[in-house]
């Protein structure tokens, strides 16, 4: 689930999806904005593996647990290196 396994394709693993979310997070955005950016990115790259909204939220949860994003004033913000 978090990493690819025999039953979870690499492009559906939470780490992979989280990486895609981080790549698109150049500036603070809403949850729905990040969701739309992820869907657009996957469509453009021809990734057919379905990512549901709940799977997307799990990827956000993972990113938050890893300390790579935070919520600030209702927006998702990438945590910069200090």
**pLDDT at site 8:** 85
Domains of the chain: 10-78 (1.10.10)
Report how far residue 69's alpha carbon sits from residue 59's, in angstroms, rounded to the nearest whole number. Answer: 11
Please state the rounded mean pLDDT for residues 62-76.
96
How many CB atoms within 10 Å of residue 32?
9
The residues, any chain, with a CB within 8 Å of residue 81's CB and separated by 6 or more, are none
* Model confidence pLDDT, tens digit, residues 2-33: 888 888 888 889 999 999 999 999 999 999 99
If one counts every other C-beta atom within 10 angstroms of the C-beta of residue 42, the result is 17
Taking the model in full, what pTM does it have? 0.89
């Amino acid at each position: 689930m978090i990493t690819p396994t025999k039953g979870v394709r690499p492009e559906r693993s939470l780490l992979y999806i989280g990486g895609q979310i981080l790549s698109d997070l150049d500036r603070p955005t809403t949850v729905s904005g990040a969701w739309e950016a992820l869907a657009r990115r996957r469509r453009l790259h021809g990734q057919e593996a379905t990512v549901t909204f709940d799977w997307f939220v799990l990827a956000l949860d993972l990113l938050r647990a890893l300390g790579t994003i935070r919520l600030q004033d209702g927006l998702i913000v990438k945590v910069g290196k200090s």
